[in-house]
């Protein structure tokens, strides 16, 4: 068991003296792999003054740094499987308690399972707060496959921006517009891994959506149905509208 450290003390102080006046906002973007969660979150977060927290990026960062957590999940992720709930929860909790995220976060890629959704609600409840919205981006399987197979990601871990070779190509082929690092195809965006991810998603998403529709407070669940013919601005507009309703 970890000792109560400076970071925990700082979190406790924020929670006790700042939160009563300015409650942090917790919003999650859900949907299949390639649904555009990262794209929406990266535009929405600065607009709302919140942090974009991608559990996928947190996990890839741990893998790149070769931490104990990274080693444990590396093989699973590369096969297109999910990291175990308790490990993801551990790394997410640490990120949520960071002073940098004290105004609230837009979660991208979490929760992915019913168990994770329940753990998140329990964690927030223990802090006296609650999830504000679960925004569900629902695309057809054909649209998801088209997006994933042509997705390219910035190799710079602190940037991690993603591109689509047809819909959103980089200005200079093979290089990130933001930081000029090389773009690569994530191992889990390879054809075999895509099939596994979509299969996993189908199995996990049904109980997750019914949880948000029926077990959480009314108005938490918001359904958005983007298609590949919509621009990202059109999708963002729908999400903004859902958040204000
Ligand atoms: Zn970049």
Q: Among the options 60, 112, 147, 152, which is catalytic? A: 112
162 CA from centroid of ligand 1 (Å): 8
102 CA from centroid of ligand 1 (Å): 25
Mean pLDDT, range 24-51, rounded to an integer: 92
Helix axes 191-214, 114-126, angle to 10 degrees: 50
Q: What percent of the chain has pLDDT over 90?
A: 49
* CA–CA distances in Å: residue 236 to residues 38, 46, 126, 233, 242: 11, 13, 31, 5, 10
The verdict on whether 195 is a catalytic residue reads no
- Which sign, positive or negative, has the C-alpha torsion 144, 149, 151, 156? positive
pLDDT at 229 over 60: yes
**For the segment 109-151, what is each residue's pLDDT rounded down to a tens digit?**
899 889 999 999 999 999 999 999 999 999 999 999 988 999 9
**For the segment 67-86, what is each residue's pLDDT rounded down to a tens digit?**
888 888 888 877 777 788 88
Q: Among the options 60, 74, 152, 197, which is catalytic? A: 197
Q: Among the options 60, 151, 161, 238, which is catalytic? A: 151
178 CA from centroid of ligand 1 (Å): 5
The residues, ordered by sequence, that sit 6+ positions from 67 with a Cβ below 8 Å of its Cβ are none
Mean pLDDT, range 23-32, rounded to an integer: 93
| Predicted local distance difference test score (pLDDT) of residue 2 | 61
**Dist. CA 36–CA 138, nearest whole Å:** 10
**For the segment 231-244, what is each residue's pLDDT rounded down to a tens digit?**
889 999 999 999 98
The verdict on whether 37 is a catalytic residue reads yes
**Dist. CA 50–CA 104, nearest whole Å:** 5
Mean pLDDT, range 21-44, rounded to an integer: 91
């Amino acid at each position: 068991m970890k000792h109560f450290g400076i970071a925990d003390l700082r979190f406790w102080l924020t929670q006790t003296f700042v939160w009563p006046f300015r409650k942090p906002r917790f919003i999650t973007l859900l949907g299949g792999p390639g649904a555009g969660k990262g794209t929406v979150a990266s535009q929405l977060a600065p607009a709302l003054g919140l942090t974009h927290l991608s559990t996928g990026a947190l996990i890839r960062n741990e893998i790149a740094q070769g931490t104990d957590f990274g080693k444990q999940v590396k093989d699973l992720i590369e096969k297109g499987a999910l990291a175990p709930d308790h490990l993801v929860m551990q790394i997410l909790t640490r990120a949520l308690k960071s002073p940098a995220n004290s105004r609230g976060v837009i979660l991208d890629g979490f929760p992915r399972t019913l168990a994770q959704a329940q753990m998140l609600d329990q964690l927030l409840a223990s802090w006296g707060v609650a999830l504000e919205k679960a925004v569900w981006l629902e695309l057809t399987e054909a649209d998801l496959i088209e997006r994933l197979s042509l997705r390219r990601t910035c190799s710079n871990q602190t940037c991690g921006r993603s591109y689509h070779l047809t819909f959103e190509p980089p200005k200079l082929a093979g290089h990130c517009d933001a930081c000029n690092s090389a773009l690569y195809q994530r191992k889990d965006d390879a054809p075999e891994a895509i099939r596994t991810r979509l299969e996993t998603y189908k199995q996990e998403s049904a109980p997750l959506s019914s949880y948000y529709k029926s077990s959480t407070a009314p108005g938490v669940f918001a359904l958005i149905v983007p298609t590949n013919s919509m621009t990202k601005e059109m999708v963002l507009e729908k999400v903004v509208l859902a958040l204000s309703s």
